[in-house]
Amino acid sequence: MTPTRKPVTLHRLRAMHGDGEKISMLTCYDATFARVLDDAGVDCLLVGDSLGMVLQGHTSTVPVTLEEMAYHVRCVARGNRTACVIGDLPFGSYQSSIAQAIDSASALMQAGAHMVKLEGGGWTAPVVRALVERGIPVCAHLGLTPQSVHALGGWRVQGREESGAATLMAHAKELADAGATMLVLELVTSAVGTEVTKAIGIPTIGIGAGPDCSGQVLVLHDALGMAERPARFVRNFMAEGGGITEAARRYVAAVKDGSFPETGTHTY
């Protein structure tokens, strides 16, 4: 139990980044798991639109609605005490206009999120800037962006080619300059993860992006060994025995001490 832990605020996240302390993040979708993960010391609870796949049985995140996201954010917020809660803006909730993005982000913040996350680069920089100017912290997301999986041609590693890596780097800098608080890097080569992390002044949170990111995130169900066909970057933290709280604590410890992800085993 960590009942005396101070709230993981934006100020605390910046301090951790400045001190070189790795940031631990797991997805979370309900009040019970929020309490368990918070007690285990997880820094950030990501209410991800991945719930469309792990909870609803869809083959992608695209069908998830804003109303469903707000519902799960409310559930997580009720169970959480100290972790930073991040809510995903789902597909179709921010692409039409900046006004739509503000309305959608406001709905998640009112539901209890401390920050919202959106996917993509280039066109998203003005959206990020508009949200930040209105007091809404933003976590950006580059690399494999699940909402665009059809446009990307499937679940493929990003940044292998020089042109793709250069575009990703340019987008990362634009998003940081626009005021993004953090940047998730998903399914990119370790080399790209390292270079982006060095180049921008905000924390990078990797998921299949190598060990040099400022922190790591996994889908909770994957970290608990529930994936039918786990991706290469996944480690089963239940494999050593014990309960869910012990597994979450092992995850936090492995992220903090740098033993996860392991180069060659969980990287590209």
Question: Which one-letter amino acid corresponds to residue 148?
Answer: S
C-alpha torsion 140→144→146→152, nearest 10: 130
CB atoms within 10 A of CB 133: 11
The response to whether 117 counts as a known ligand-binding position is yes
The response to whether 214 counts as a known ligand-binding position is no
- Return the closest-CA partner of residue 143 out of 162, 169, 124: 169
Q: What is the 3-state secondary structure (H, E, C) of 42-66?
A: CCEEEECCCHHHHCCCCCCCCCCCH
- Return the closest-CA partner of residue 232 out of 203, 196, 207: 207
- The answer to whether residue 186 is catalytic is yes
Catalytic residue among 67, 186, 246, 262: 186
C-alpha torsion 174→178→182→183, nearest 10: -30
- Report the C-alpha gap between 97 and 196 in whole angstroms: 28
Q: What is the gyration radius of the CA atoms in the chain, in angstroms?
A: 17
In terms of Cβ atoms closer than 10 Å to its own Cβ (0-12, 13-18, 19+), residue 191 is: middle
The response to whether 88 counts as a known ligand-binding position is yes
For residue 224, the SS3 value is: coil
β-bridge partners, 86: 46, 115
For residue 16, the SS3 value is: helix
Q: Which residues are catalytic?
A: 186
* Annotated binding-site residue numbers for 3-methyl-2-oxobutanoate: 49-50, 88, 117
* Annotated binding-site residue numbers for Mg(2+): 49, 88, 119
